[in-house]
Amino acid sequence: MDLESMGINIPLLISQAVSFGVLFFLLYKFGYKKFLKTMDERSLRIKESLEAGEKAKLEAIQAEEEVAKRIEEANLEGQKIIDRAVKVSEEVRKKAELDARKQADAIIIKAQAEIAREKEAALVELRKEVADLAVLVAGKAISKSLDEKSHKDLIDSVLKEASVL
């Protein structure tokens, strides 16, 4: 089997192999290293970009968690403020109620004292009128003239004895 009978031209094959070898050497010497360098740089940039993206993603997650934490703290603080306000308002209400009760009790005591004083004054007035009537009745009944002062003294002593009983 001859190569030429198969359609292979040996000198052409050798010249193409030499040309391919020279082209391969030149490309390897001048182009392949630059190509590899460019590809390595690009791979490095892509890797750095991915790492930066991952870092930014983590930072965003941390920032989101921080915001959620601050919102929760603000909610808790707001609830504490509301609870304190409710407590203070309840204390103010109780104090106002207590003050109102004290004032009402003071008014009642004052009114009771006024009633007792007026009752005592009315009793004194009533005693005087009863004494005057008794003197008048006694004077008419006895038909003798006792002086008014001695009648009053007599009636006062009788009323004092009656009030002691």
| 52 pLDDT above the threshold of 90 | yes
List the domain range (segments joined by +) for residue 108.
Answer: 10-164
Residue 22 within a domain: yes
Residue 2 within a domain: no
Residue 3 within a domain: no
The angle at the Cα of 143, spanning 139 to 147, to the nearest 5 degrees, equals: 45
Cβ atoms of 125 and 109 within 8 Å: the answer is: no
| The one-letter amino acid at 135 | V
Residue 160 within a domain: yes
pLDDT digits (tens, 9 = 90+) for 94-131: 999 999 999 999 999 999 999 999 998 888 888 787 77
Residue 47 within a domain: yes
Residue 158 within a domain: yes
The predicted pLDDT at position 143 comes to 47
Residue 1 within a domain: no
The full DSSP string for 96-139 is: HHHHHHHHHHHHHHHHHHHHHHHHHHHHHHHHHHHHHHHHHHHH
- Band (pLDDT 50/70/90 cuts) for residue 41 is very high
Residue 67 within a domain: yes
As for how many domains the chain has, the answer is 1
| 164 pLDDT above the threshold of 70 | no
